[in-house]
Amino acid sequence: MTATRFSVTIALLGTKVAAMLTRKTLYIVLLTLPLMACSGPDQSQAANSGEMPSATAKMPARVWIVNPDQGDSVTSPVIVEFGIAGYGLAPAGTYEPETGHHHLLINTGLPALDMPIPADDNHVHFGKGQTETTIDLPAGEHTLQLVLGDGNHIPHQPPLTSDVITITVVD
Ligand SMILES: [Cu+2]
């Protein structure tokens, strides 16, 4: 992934992160309050001096397609790798907060976000917590997108979705 594309991804994520901030911030503050009471001033010093963030600092939740890259020309079968940060992976049928499993959307838009993601050729579930798959695609252009689903295969609120990427499969 190029630096430019990474910044665009971050910019796009900013919108989603902003929407989550109220709930997340409250959650993080509640979690870290006892620690901050002991070491509040030190935390801001650490941030300013470029030291590693404290273990309680949480990454913004996001999912992304690690590979292939937007615009890539590839041959079939195509290896697709999934990235996740800020949330954990958990098998379908388990219900730990802030966990889920990947769903790969192939040549289709986002499904309804308040019900289980369909399971068909265009909506592939990775209910064991897999982070990679290999798909057969005919020659031509195809779109790929990830959406995380909870233990019941329902997207989270707000949904964790990757950018849509378009790839070209060549013979
Ligand atoms: Cu699922």
Tens digits of residue pLDDT in 61-86: 999 999 999 999 999 999 999 999 99
Asked if the model's pLDDT at residue 112 lies above 50, the reply is yes
Question: Where is pLDDT greater, at 12 or 95?
Answer: 95
Kindly indicate the confidence band of residue 16, based on its pLDDT and cuts at 50, 70 and 90: very low
Cis peptide before 77 (omega within 30 of 0): yes
For the chain, the structural domain boundaries read 1-58, 62-169
Beta-strand relationship, 78-85 and 132-135: antiparallel
Query: Tell me, which fold does domain 62-169 have in CATH?
Result: Immunoglobulin-like (2.60.40)
* The pLDDT of residue 137: 98
Cα 107 to ligand 1 centre (Å): 17
Cα 138 to ligand 1 centre (Å): 25
Beta bridge pairs of residue 161: 147
Kindly indicate the confidence band of residue 51, based on its pLDDT and cuts at 50, 70 and 90: low
Cα 22 to ligand 1 centre (Å): 27
Report DSSP state, residue 5: H
Please give the Cα distance from 88 to 71 (Å, whole number): 28
Yes or no: say if 167 and 80 are a contact pair by the CB < 8 Å rule: no
Dihedral (CA of 49, 88, 121, 169) sign = positive
* The pLDDT of residue 58: 79
